[in-house]
Amino acid sequence: MVAKNPRNHWAVLFDKIKDYPAGYRVLTGILNSPRRLALTVGMEPKFGDREFILAWRERLKTLQPVPPELVQDGPVMENVDTGDEVNLFKFPVPKWHELDGGRYIGTGSATITRDPETGWVNIGTYRVMVHDEKSCAHYAAQGKHGRMHRDKYFARGEPCPVAVVVGEDPLLFLASILAITHSQDGFIDEYHWIGGVRGEPFQFIKGPVTGLPIPAQAEIVLEGFSYPDKTKDEGPFGEWPGYYASRHRAEPVMKVEAVYHRNNPIICGAPPSRMPDDFTYAYELARAAQLWDEIEAAGLTDVCGVACYQHRFITVVSIKQRYGGHARRAAMLAMHCNAGAFFGRYVIVVDDDIDVYDFDEVVWALSTRVDPVKDIEIVQNCWESLLDPIVPSADDTHRTSHPPPPPLRPPR
């Protein structure tokens, strides 16, 4: 998050890719500028970070979910490949970093799953590596909704139905990367949420193979099943902390039974690189807005600003201190609320005279107002990720990365 000089990175559309027909494209950077982010959510493209967060919070307060609309057809069905026709390498699937374990069709993708017990449908972004023409694998961290759905199917000994949207509406991508909580059984939260943001129903088709609701306007959708008893190595992948941190692990294989795509389809890519990383821009802003709402909903008063830096490593909250323990309460809430719980490293609470959207000011406050002996508190056993390069091993991961994994090349 950069306040005074909002980032304005380009979106890049790759076409005429070697070995592929012209028109089979890859697009990166769809949400990586304040302007594109504002346009995606239907706001005037005129805001800096703070203004966007405030306006976005106001918008969410009055957001009325709009149910999606089931339609019989859509552009995603312009081409239907099933059975022997399925070939994931029909598309220019990128290998994003030199040491990646394979080509990743899913980075800026959206994976659709359904809870086998309640019918609740979730959409989340979890990276997808192609194994061969007809199979691929996800990495979805423990605790992510799609992973929880998959685990429930596997506990029953059943394959998990999955649909992966590989090129999508930028608003669907935004919904897919945010931790939108599920509210009621059978509710397609992300689609209802998108409908509310846009003010019109999101159109979906019932997936012919899985029955999952797939976006009618998508560029490319893969449909199939993940299997409990079929695993293959996924990774390593150069991830947003700036390392090939997750190494490789055995992950369930998704067998793709059908591929639907538009004519001249576009893969949406969100390749991570070493930070500061424009791929995280929208995430940081939207997460800051969500976290601000959540800590206020939990009862914290006098919050003057919430900012996220380095994707999710650093959260800064400013408060007008009213009572002893106010700052500690702010920190604890920021660390454990839905938008802050996963993979946080530092929560910094500053006074209200500090502009949290100016990191230089935050560093000044840290340097001059903190007594490290008594003002810093270490909280242990929080929700972690295998992408964290300093965690030597974790049950989640089967990872033994000591010394740290290889770093990505620094940005040029």
Ligand X SMILES: Cc1cc2nc3c(=O)[nH]c(=O)nc-3n(C[C@H](O)[C@H](O)[C@H](O)COP(=O)(O)O)c2cc1C
Residues interacting with ligand X, by CB under 6 A? 108, 122, 124-127, 139-141, 144-146, 177-179, 270, 279, 283
Instruction: Find the shortest distance in angstroms from Cβ 32 to ligand X.
Output: 10
Using the minimum distance from each CB to ligand X, give the nearer residue, 124 or 161. 124
Instruction: Find the shortest distance in angstroms from Cβ 273 to ligand X.
Output: 11
Residue 38 near residue 44 (C-beta atoms within 8 A): yes
Q: Which residue has the tokens 């423990």?
A: 142
Using the minimum distance from each CB to ligand X, give the nearer residue, 144 or 365. 144
Using the minimum distance from each CB to ligand X, give the nearer residue, 192 or 354. 192
Is residue 132 helix, strand or coil?
Answer: strand
Q: At what angle do helices 170-177 and 281-297 cross, to 10 degrees?
A: 50
Nearest residue to ligand X, scored by beta-carbon proximity = 124
Using the minimum distance from each CB to ligand X, give the nearer residue, 161 or 355. 161
Instruction: Find the shortest distance in angstroms from Cβ 116 to ligand X.
Output: 16
Q: How far is CA 113 from CA 7, 110, 122, 239, 243, in A?
A: 34, 10, 5, 24, 29
φ, ψ dihedrals at 182, nearest 5°: -90, 140
- Tell me the Ramachandran region of residue 398: left when phi exceeds 0, alpha when psi lies from -120 to 50, beta otherwise: left
Instruction: Find the shortest distance in angstroms from Cβ 227 to ligand X.
Output: 19
Residue 48 near residue 8 (C-beta atoms within 8 A): no
Radius of gyration of the chain (CA): 21
Q: Which residue has the tokens 């976290």?
A: 291
- 402, with CB counted inside 10 A (0-12, 13-18, 19+), is exposed
Using the minimum distance from each CB to ligand X, give the nearer residue, 341 or 366. 341
Instruction: Find the shortest distance in angstroms from Cβ 279 to ligand X.
Output: 6
Rounded Cα gap, residues 333 and 299, in angstroms: 10
Residue 232 near residue 137 (C-beta atoms within 8 A): yes
Using the minimum distance from each CB to ligand X, give the nearer residue, 270 or 348. 270
Instruction: Find the shortest distance in angstroms from Cβ 148 to ligand X.
Output: 8
